[in-house]
Amino acid sequence: MALNHELLAEKMDLKSQINIEKLPRHIAIIMDGNGRWAKQHGKPRVFGHRNGVTAVRETTEAAAELGVEYLTLYAFSTENWNRPKLEVSALMRLLVETLHKEIDTLNKNDIRLQAIGDLSKLPEKTRQALLAGIENTKNNSRMTLVLALNYSAKWEIMEASRRLARQVQAGTLSPDDIDEATFAAALNTGGMPDPELLIRTSGENRLSNFLLWQIAYAELYFTPVFWPDFRKEHLYKAIIDFQKRERRFGKISEQVAP
Ligand code: FPP
């Protein structure tokens, strides 16, 4: 009991250290370490993914409570198709199950669901569950939860290039008018602010083909915590760390100091 109280006090203390005025508008997370977490517990990899859902729920709730506008989670990369067939199908089933279970909670919390990635290649059931979730939550406005599914940043950049090239070919766009804003709008994330904070769990320090265009100025935060163990306090710690950094965007210190 005493320990629970201490943990709660620590969580509240961390939360109170966050400056709500300086929250990142968009946080992106590479959820990593489910497999290793499962191995540590002597269980199959899928057990790690199942417990990863608890971390998804906690993180989404914490971000929405704070007032973060966008939370993007890397749930399945294009490269993940290379995993054992059984793991891929279990992950896809888990997605359907979680989407069905959590839609009510998303609505209760006024959270809108969106997705980025090549959704056309997802199994039909997963795609349908996802599209239904997006449709059912489209009028919510407190926070947008973006799931990156069958996502690859290089694919997204190529897709945007193709889209713009088609417009040039059709004569509706001049090559000289392609600037950062036009290009950003042609990406899957068109209309969203760029992530200001990118978190990766499990001690890996890589970007793994995630949001490469959008994170040009993001602060990167790496934590050794395996994703299934990630809780609200870990998100708070990442945000506190983010707020301690000086974001200069190429300028010198004196130009950005308040
Ligand atoms: C990375 O751990 C995790 C994934 C590729 C899948 C993430 C999926 C979930 C948390 C479950 C469902 C998600 C939602 C949004 C409902 P890993 O398997 O690469 O771990 P390892 O590096 O230790 O092997």
Numbers of helices and strands, H then E, in the chain: 9, 6
What is the Å distance from ligand 1's center to 169 Cα?
A: 40
45 found inside a domain = yes
- Please report whether residue 9 resides in a domain: no
Q: Name the amino acid, one letter, at 230.
A: F
Kindly state whether residue 249 falls inside one of the protein's structural domains. Answer: no
* Contact status, residue 78 vs residue 150, Cβ threshold 8 Å: yes
User: Is residue 222 in some structural domain?
Assistant: yes
Domain assignment of residue 65, yes or no: yes
| 37: in domain | yes
Alpha helices in the chain (DSSP H): 2-16, 34-40, 45-66, 85-108, 124-136, 153-169, 180-186, 232-244, 253-256
Q: List Cα–Cα distances, 242 to 8, 62, 91, 198, in angstroms.
A: 22, 16, 31, 10
Test site for ligand 1: of 29, 31, 111, most ligand atoms within 8 A of the Cβ? 31
138 in any annotated domain? yes
Counted domains in the chain: 1
Centroid of ligand 1 to alpha carbon of 113 (angstroms): 19
DSSP state, residue 81: G
pLDDT of residue 9: 82
Domain range for 133 is 23-152+193-244
Supply 79's token pair.
Answer: 């490269």
pLDDT of residue 6: 80
CA 111 – ligand 1 centroid, Å: 22
State whether the beta carbon of 229 lies less than 6 angstroms from ligand 1: no
Determine whether the shortest distance from the Cβ of 27 to ligand 1 is under 6 A: no
pLDDT in tens, the chain (258 residues): 566 788 788 888 999 999 999 999 999 999 999 999 999 999 999 999 999 999 999 999 999 999 999 999 999 999 999 999 999 999 999 999 999 999 999 999 999 999 999 999 999 999 999 999 999 999 999 999 999 999 999 999 999 999 999 999 999 999 999 999 999 999 999 999 999 999 999 999 999 999 999 999 999 999 999 999 999 999 999 999 999 997 777 888 888 876
Check pocket membership of 133 for ligand 1, CB cut-off 6 A.
no
Q: Is residue 10 part of a domain?
A: no
Q: Based on the number of CB atoms within 10 Å of its own CB, is 58 exposed (0-12), middle (13-18) or buried (19 or more)?
A: middle
> Is 103's C-beta closer than 6 angstroms to any atom of ligand 1?
no
The answer to whether residue 118 is catalytic is no
Told to judge if 80 belongs to the known catalytic residues of this protein, a careful annotator would answer: yes
The CB of 143 under 6 Å from ligand 1? The reply is no
Helix (H, G, I), strand (E, B) or coil at 141: coil
Nearest residue (CA) to ligand 1, atom 5 = 76
Q: Is the CB of 147 under 6 A from ligand 1?
A: yes
Contact 72, 27 (CB under 8 A): yes
Separation of 207 CA from ligand 1 center, angstroms? 15
Q: Which atom of ligand 1 is nearest to the CA of 37?
A: 23
CATH of the domain at 217: 3.40.1180.10
Residue 77 near ligand 1, beta carbon < 6 Å: no
Report the pLDDT value the prediction gives residue 4, as an integer from 0 to 100.
79
Please give the pLDDT value at position 150.
97
| Structure token digits, residue 164 | 């713009």
At residue 29, the 3 state secondary structure works out as strand
Q: What are the two backbone dihedrals, phi and then psi, of residue 213, each rounded to the nearest 5 degrees?
A: -70, -45
Does the global pTM surpass 0.85? yes
Residues paired with 222 in a beta bridge: 200
Query: Residue 95, Cβ neighbours under 10 Å: how many?
Result: 24
Q: How far is the CA of 46 from the centre of ligand 1 (A)?
A: 9
**Edge-to-edge order in the sheet of strand 197-200:** 111-116, 143-151, 70-77, 26-30, 197-200, 219-222
The response to whether residue 46 sits with its C-beta less than 6 Å from ligand 1 reads no
